[in-house]
Amino acid sequence: MLLGVNIDHIATLRNARGGLDPNLVQAALICENAGADGITVHLREDRRHTKDNDVRELKSILKTRLNLEMALTDEMQKIALEVVPENVCLVPEKREEVTTEGGLDVASRVEFVKDFVKPLIDAGIVVSLFIDPDKHQVEAAAKTGAQFIELHTGRYSEAFGTQEEEMEFQSLKNAALLAEKLGLKVNAGHGLTYSNVHRMRDIPQLIELNIGHNIIARAVFDGLENAVKDMKNLIQ
């Protein structure tokens, strides 16, 4: 299975001070050197983490693939057609949400999504729709021309270790199976952690997992000890 690393929260940290540190491109290169198969960023309407220039820089420097997560707006479509990332993942977006809360509602607007996706695909971009593991959404996604879906693993992640875990896992399994039957390729992501990710290996259709927050959170603790030691050495 492939791993796409979402580095939005490196940008969150950078933006806290308004400078260039920690450098987003450097972070992307570290992820690639560590084996990441792609780098994901979400260009939000409010630009709260990744900025337009980050997307351009990443596209010109990455050796793997740039996966641009974005909402279905004219503004984002224009940027995608200008930058031409290898992948676009279409996500719903609400200004007030902390992170992407639910999957895209494709079922209620198949024609709109189809029209939105077409110029992207014509430009050579591989398009994915971020949807809940729901039969109707998978069936709708298959009518849009998008080559991939990304199954929203948020409910599975939240249910992990509870009575609902099995049900949420089965929903992902069934959705992946249906997607495959309908000719869609399948990725998954959101809320996956070092503790709950192992069950994804039991969904054979999954091609790539997109994981962000838990990797960046772990990286802080993996590096904190050395960071303090290095500073201490400098002032002794």
Residue 217's identity, in one-letter code, is: A
State yes or no: residue 150 binds ligand PXP (CB under 6 A).
yes
Nearer to ligand PXP, 139 or 158 (CB): 158
Residue 85 near residue 64 (C-beta atoms within 8 A): no
State yes or no: residue 99 binds ligand PXP (CB under 6 A).
yes
Q: Which of 39, 190, 196, 197 lies at the binding interface for ligand PXP (CB under 6 A)?
A: 190
Q: Does the annotation count 164 as an active-site position?
A: no
State yes or no: residue 106 binds ligand PXP (CB under 6 A).
no
Smallest separation, CB 165 to ligand PXP (Å): 17
Tokens of 193: 């952690």
Stretch that binds ligand PXP, among 26-34, 162-170, 190-198, 218-226 (CB under 6 A): 190-198
Q: Does the annotation count 97 as an active-site position?
A: no
State yes or no: residue 42 binds ligand PXP (CB under 6 A).
yes
Distance CA 25, CA 182 (A): 37
DSSP string, 170-234: HHHHHHHHHHHHTT-EEEEESS--TTTGGGGGG-TTEEEEEE-HHHHHHHHHHHHHHHHHHHHHH
Tokens of 189: 């992501």
Residue numbers at the binding site for ligand PXP (CB under 6 A) = 6, 8, 42, 69, 89, 91, 99-100, 130, 150, 189-192, 210-214
